[in-house]
Structure 1
């Protein structure tokens, strides 16, 4: 069985972070290992407290897993501090792994999940070794210092990120104003680009969508799918998770990680970027 890893924070509400990643791995039939960077007290209404682990303990967790498992792909989520980012980057930079970086910065309720000083470490330490970066528009604006309102803005920002060494950037378009479709723009370092569009769903149950998308991509890469195949299947996984909500909680409810196995005939629309 293929083994993958998530390096992220724990969500006590179960909708995002480590919990969402492990659920996604399980649904996609890969064996999920985990490295916890922080504990959070949170639910669908918001984050009430954050308790980060130490960089040394993050390193010990990674060493324990790597010494015993043949990890094919990993993802990073909430890394919280520059020290943790540097620790993670140092540990994996010489390894032959598919690395998916989800630059988690802000929780659905507005709580900051990445310290301001950590953005520089993300850009200089982690992006140069990443296979894929999966920012939403606000995250991409922080990383590049650019404002994005048009497709041209998105392309210029993606090109700026690719120059940092990332092999592929998936610009998630959920924050763009479009009443009908949610469109993600994909840019690869070889010059290839395309868009993925899916029906926009009017729902508040979107907690953990970014975690779930990047975890699904990690699982598919770990199973040996090509980069484009993994991205498209991950888009399908998260779209179905949104379309078939569980209706849990009183705030931004979690997505449905069971949906992919029950509704697999969904097709993502592909077009030129």
Structure 2
């Protein structure tokens, strides 16, 4: 059985006073060892967060494909490792939309992260227009096909399905829609990497909250959640961890 993973993405939020939230979230994660939990925080907080919660997984939200060079404002995988990151998000829809990143960029970033021992959460998802036009299946399959790095394996790679129109909007697909898309992704992965795809975790992301987490996490092939706004405070994030723990224990 695949372990549930609850991953938080703080995006461009968080200053040093918010470290107390990380400390509280880490404590909750320790209290529920039957699930995995992590936070991807701004670059400026990675080292401090890793210091205050050394037994909790801290990650980054992006990485450059090169190890070093004239790339103003970017950050490399070796830098993330030195800061204390253990995982990195690549291909997030906000990077694709706001920075014109392609699936090829995502592929290169995932490969760079892997070279330096970072685990990877690789995102895919369709826009609202693509969804309404009935193209969601084709879009996410294409994104996975073009983004999946060589040697993709479940011990270091996780897929996150995030319909772009559900991120931060309060909208969510129906449970049937989520189940269908996750099944499509699982089948695509099997076709690309074989039976090990059955062990690879596929997260759902997009307006996940304590109120809807239990129902979403109970859907077939949903192995956890990538959480945005609700991960910023322990009060909102811990109930999602607890929902995952209840499912893991069969309560």
Coarse TM-score class (shorter-chain normalised): 0.3 to 0.5
Q: TM-score, normalised by structure 2?
A: 0.43
Greater strand content: 1
| Bigger helix fraction | 2
Higher RCO, 1 vs 2 (CA within 8 Å, ≥6 residues apart): 2
